[in-house]
Every structure is written in C-alpha cells, then in structure tokens.
C-alpha cells in the first residue's frame, strides 16, 4: 500500500511539524517513539526518520521546502537577509567574504526528496549548525543538480574545505609585521582540524599561530 505521505493535500512542512510534535510528546526510546508515530500517521519508518531529520534543520532550509509563491512575507524577508556566496567566490579563511549573489528572497524550491538525502548527511548537518549560509547554498546547488547528485554535490563541497588558504597574522612575533598566506594539503589540513578539536581552539588560524610560535621558541628562534 502507498504510505500516507503521498497525500497531495498535506505539504512536507506539515509532516515535519506533526512528526516533530509527536516525537517530543511521546516517551520512551527513539525507536519506540518512531514506531508509535508510524502507527499514528501511517507513514513508513524511513519517512518518519527523514521528517525528524528535516525538522532539526535551520529555519531557512525548512523555508525553501516551500514554493516561493507560498512563502510568507516574513519568510521571504528572512531569506533576503542571508548572505549567500558562490563556491567559486568563497574567500580564504581570515578574509572578508564577498557580498551578493542570487536574489535571495526568491530562492528556488528544494524538493523534498533532495532535502531528505541532504538531511541524512553528517557533514551537511554540521554545516547547517555551524555555517547555515553554506548549508543553504549547498541545498540550492543540490536542488539544481537533482536528488541523485546530492552525494556528488556534498563531496565536491567537502573537497573544497580540505585545502583552506590560511592567513597567519604575526603581529605579536618579533620584527616588523609580515602577514603570511599558507596553503596546506589534505593530510596537514585534517591533522590541523583534529588539533583544533582536541585542544578546543577557536579557529585554525589561532592553532597555526600557536604551533608556529611554539616551534620557533623550541628551536631558539624566539625568546
């Protein structure tokens, strides 16, 4: 039998709100609550999990699940305030990101199927938590490419972050100020990301400063 979600009179935003509300109201383990939601809504287990995933996404991502014409004035205004940057225009770490991009209040619809796949991905959910503008840009790109190209779009985005250009301010070092631009390969970048996480450092730039300063001090180049 066709699951209940195929009903055309119930938009995806309603299913997201309903499953999220039921999940929060019910008690027990996650699996038991999902099973109960399946019984109540006649949705499949997979659909319930997908709607719960989408319900945890940021508001802009949930807004673009609606057709532009069906978005409220406040939703359009919210989207209009979000700075989106083309992947090719992304500035190096530490530099100002270029303004402008698309007509943000009229961002295209991201189909439910595409958003389902995106919401299952750990990297995408991390971007949504820490860099919501980036997640929104990836979602728009994935919508343009199609649901089956989502892994390809996410893979390309992850590939871009593996070789960040890091600007290292050295004003606190001895001698005249001499800003440096350093580009790292994948092994060093991944090691740097682990170092930042393990040491609870604010950013890669700060981590680079600490590592370089400690090394030069150890080698006797800094007093």
Phi-psi region of 10 (alpha: psi -120 to 50; beta: other; left: phi over 0): beta
Q: Please give the Cα distance from 133 to 135 (Å, whole number).
A: 5
Mean pLDDT in residue range 199-220: 80
Mean pLDDT in residue range 152-168: 76
Confidence category of residue 92, pLDDT binned at 50, 70, 90: very low
Distance, CA of 127 to chain centre: 2
- Higher-confidence residue of 169 and 9: namely 9
Confidence category of residue 153, pLDDT binned at 50, 70, 90: very high
Percent residues over pLDDT 90 in the chain: 52
With 60 as the cut, is the pLDDT of residue 59 above it?
yes
**Can you give the C-alpha Rg of the chain in angstroms?**
22
pLDDT of res. 163: 57
pTM for the model: 0.62
């Amino acid at each position: 039998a066709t699951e209940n979600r195929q009903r055309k009179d119930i938009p995806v935003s309603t299913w997201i709100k309903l499953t999220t509300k039921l999940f929060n109201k019910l008690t027990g383990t996650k699996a038991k609550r999902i099973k109960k939601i399946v019984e109540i809504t006649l949705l499949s287990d997979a659909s319930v999990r997908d709607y719960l995933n989408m319900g945890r996404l940021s508001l802009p991502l949930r807004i673009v699940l609606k057709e532009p014409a069906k978005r409220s004035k406040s939703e359009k205004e919210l989207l209009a305030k979000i700075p989106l940057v083309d992947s090719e225009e992304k500035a190096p770490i530490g530099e100002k990101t270029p303004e402008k991009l698309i007509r943000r209040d009229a961002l295209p619809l991201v189909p439910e199927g595409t958003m389902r796949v995106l919401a299952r991905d750990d990297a995408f959910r991390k971007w949504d938590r820490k860099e919501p503008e980036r997640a929104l840009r990836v979602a728009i790109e994935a919508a343009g490419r199609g649901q089956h190209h989502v892994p390809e779009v996410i893979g390309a985005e992850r590939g871009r972050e593996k070789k960040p250009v890091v600007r290292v301010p050295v004003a606190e070092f001895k001698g005249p100020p001499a800003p440096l631009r350093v580009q790292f390969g994948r092994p060093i970048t991944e090691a740097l990301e682990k170092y930042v996480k393990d040491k609870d450092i604010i950013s890669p730039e700060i981590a680079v400063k600490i590592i370089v300063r400690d090394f030069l001090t150890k080698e006797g180049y800094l007093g």
